[in-house]
Amino acid sequence: MMFKLGLTGSIGMGKSTTARLFADAGCSVWDADAAVHRLYAKGGAAVRPMEALFPDAISDGSVDRGALRSIIVKRQDALRMIEGIVHPLVRDDRAQFAANADTDVIVFDIPLLFETGGEAEMDAVACVTVSPEKQEERVMERGTMTREQFAAIRAKQMPNDDKCARSDFVIETDTLEHARAQVHDVLEQIRKRMTDA
């Protein structure tokens, strides 16, 4: 029996670190962002269909994410069209990963799990969380965006409290040790559920 655990959380909440903790604990981990990078890379499955719709978004045989962002800003229908190409390809990538995984628990690291309805395909969902102050501090430390850009991204995502309320497990990532202990606790509960089933 294989258990599918969706792992989600807003920007700066510690999701990537938590995904690594699940991997360290012996789980197979599928990363939605990494899948998109593969699809956009040279020879990736999204390059040709994207080129047909947005030739300006292709650079050196791969999809240029910066160019895509500019197109999304200029064209109202662009995001819907891009999602129409990418979401089915990402779903296929995820299904292929699950079919080849050889662990009892597979963790699917998906930032927009609830926003895309992906929770329906999971056996349970874990959401990472931390205080809004800590979240902002982490994002600002990366040095990749302004406070305004961060606020805009946070405003587009489902509120953290809503994600936590809809999840089966909530993992607080205030410290690495605390997060690791909660990951082990979640896996213990899942494996108990699997043996009781």
* Residue 189 structural domain: 1-27+105-197
**Number of structural domains found in the chain:** 2
Query: What is the predicted pLDDT for the residue at 151?
Result: 85
Contact 164, 45 (CB under 8 A): no
The reply to whether 67 and 152 lie within a common domain is: no
**Domain presence at residue 156:** yes
pLDDT of residue 154: 83
Together in a domain, 117 and 162: yes
Residue-wise DSSP of 44-74: -TTHHHHHHH-GGGEETTEE-HHHHHHHHHH
Q: Is residue 63 part of a domain?
A: yes
Quick: pLDDT tens for 97-114: 999 999 999 999 998 899
pLDDT at 79: 87
21 and 117 share a domain?
yes
Q: How far apart are alpha carbons 62 and 47 in whole angstroms?
A: 6
Which CATH number is 114's domain given?
3.40.50.300
Asked whether residue 188 is assigned to any structural domain, the reply reads yes
DSSP 14: S
Ranges of the chain whose pLDDT falls below 50:
none
Asked whether residue 33 is assigned to any structural domain, the reply reads no
Residue with tokens 């240029």: 64
Query: Where in 64-195 does DSSP place strands (E)?
Result: 105-109, 124-129, 169-172
